[in-house]
Structure 1
Amino acid sequence: MDIKRKGSLEIWTMILSFIVLVFTMLGVCLHIGFVHKIDLAAFNWFDRMFEEPAMNYSGGWFNDIMTIVASYGDVLTFVLLSIAGAIILIVKRYYLLSLWILATVGFGGILGVILKAVFHRSRPYDHLLVDTGFSFPSGHSLSSTLIAMILLSVVMPKFSNKALRFTAYVMIAVLWGSILFSRLYFHAHFLTDVLGGTALGILWVLGMKYIGHLITPFLQKLPLLKKSKIYTLCTK
């Protein structure tokens, strides 16, 4: 994909994510009947298909997979991965990229917590006891999307080996999709919670890419960051 097409795709992705985020926020805030019907239809479908699965390793291979991704695809895991990645980048002297990742994941997570407190939405009535806190937006969905989007839009495009790059894309997409699916499978969230968290994560990462691209020249002038290797965030 050429630079111009990639830039255009990111812009349209941001626009679509913004529309989805606003749609879910208004639906939750204003208790719009149409949005409630969507949530109810999705909830009933999962209930009919999987009933009320327990998060353990005694419900078959599919339940085992869902349990794994739900247990380890949480906010803490992605925060630790972000910190570990940032440390590796600091060692390799990519100081600006390290700061960008920490800021993107950190502030994105904080924004999610603020929105949960603002919307104050209760979880589905039969959610697992391990799932606590408010429901909108989904924390698992937001945090996994932040990391997935950083990998897909910032890290993976730099891979020169096409086969390796394609394999990585598929693995990340499958893991990401599995985490999102698990939130509905275990009745941890409504569909709009997952859509809202995902849209917020996509919009946040792509927005932070452009912000990082704009402020990098100024940050390079700071004494502590002058020796930082430059990692291009945007293709424009």
Structure 2
Amino acid sequence: MNINFWISLLSALILILLIFNVRNSRRFNLFDHWLHHKLIRRRDGIGWQIIAFINDPKLLVVLDVFLASFLISNNENLLAFWALFTLGFTDLIGIFLKKWMRRKRPILHSDLEEGYSFPSGHVLGSTVMALIIWRLFAGQLGNRLLWILLAIWLMVVISRISLKAHFPSDIIGATSLAVFCFSISQQLLLMVI
């Protein structure tokens, strides 16, 4: 079995454990609330709000369409469809999971934040977009691209916690879901190529 299988399996297991504990474990939720409180020292608003705005799930869809257009202009139609499918598939699963879990956001979250908390849509979208971009351009741009994508992802994670929009488990759940969905999509792409 290849490494993609093990990554898919590990991310699925982490996601399942988080879902189970968020829904059923009072002790886990108390720990998650406590950790969230420890991570947010103060609210540094505008910078983190800008990062959250730039990585809004709706804007990531627009970015994905631009990416697909670029790929189509380079006669990479299959990769363009794959990029659109990967983000769309991941977002749909994330929306379904949010509605099914119905987890309330942390106390004192911004009025700009609506909807449920688990998983974080911003982290879900930015993680899967980073993985898509890395998959498409890592060969040409190398390790620099990886470090840039990791820095952007980390800023999104910090912004979601700093703005009190999510608990730590929402961030981990979104990352696990993104990795799982990306792994499935990548397997489908490899089967077609």
Check whether TM > 0.5: yes
Q: Which residue of 1 aligns with 2:7?
A: 13
Aligned partners of 1:151, 1:38: CA distance in 2, in Å?
34
Deviates more, 1:33-42 or 1:104-113: 33-42
Q: Which of these residues, 104, 114, 137, is aligned with residue 156 of structure 1? A: 137
Aligned partners of 1:29, 1:165: CA distance in 2, in Å?
41
Q: Which of these residues, 103, 110, 114, is aligned with residue 132 of structure 1? A: 114
Q: Is residue 36 of structure 2 the alignment partner of residue 43 of structure 1?
A: yes
TM-score (norm: length of structure 1): 0.77
Q: Is residue 73 of structure 2 the alignment partner of residue 80 of structure 1?
A: no
Could you tell me how far 1:54 is from its partner in structure 2? 5.5
Aligned partners of 1:151, 1:88: CA distance in 2, in Å?
12
For 1:103, give the aligned amino acid. F
Q: Is residue 174 of structure 2 the alignment partner of residue 193 of structure 1?
A: no
For 1:155, give the aligned amino acid. L
Aligned partners of 2:73, 2:132: CA distance in 1, in Å?
19
Q: Is residue 81 of structure 2 the alignment partner of residue 99 of structure 1?
A: yes
Q: Which residue of 1 aligns with 2:156?
A: 179
For 2:45, give the aligned amino acid. M
Q: RMSD across aligned C-alpha pairs, in angstroms?
A: 1.7
Aligned partners of 1:168, 1:92: CA distance in 2, in Å?
20
Aligned partners of 1:71, 1:107: CA distance in 2, in Å?
22
Aligned partners of 1:19, 1:201: CA distance in 2, in Å?
13
For 2:136, give the aligned amino acid. V
Could you tell me how far 1:34 is from its partner in structure 2? 3.5
Q: Which of these residues, 44, 50, 55, is aligned with residue 68 of structure 1? A: 50
Q: Is residue 180 of structure 2 the alignment partner of residue 203 of structure 1?
A: yes
Could you tell me how far 1:173 is from its partner in structure 2? 0.4
Check the 8 A contact 1:136/1:196 in 2, yes or no.
yes
- Note the residue ranges of structure 2 that are not aligned, 5 or more in a row: none
Could you say which structure has the larger radius of gyration?
Answer: 1
Partner-residue secondary structure (3-state), 2:146: helix
Check the 8 A contact 1:156/1:169 in 2, yes or no.
no
Aligned partners of 1:34, 1:155: CA distance in 2, in Å?
42
TM-score (norm: length of structure 2): 0.93
For 2:163, give the aligned amino acid. F
Aligned partners of 1:133, 1:37: CA distance in 2, in Å?
21
- Note the residue ranges of structure 1 that are not aligned, 5 or more in a row: 57-63, 217-231
Check the 8 A contact 2:45/2:163 in 1, yes or no.
yes
Check the 8 A contact 2:124/2:178 in 1, yes or no.
yes
Structure having the higher helix fraction is 2
* Cα-to-partner distance string for 1:129-164 (whole Å, 9 max, x where unaligned): 000011111100110011011122x123322xxxx4
Q: Is residue 45 of structure 2 the alignment partner of residue 55 of structure 1?
A: yes
Equivalenced residue count is 193
- Could you list the structure 1 runs, at least 4 aligned residues long, displaced by more than 4 angstroms after superposition: none
Partner-residue secondary structure (3-state), 2:113: coil
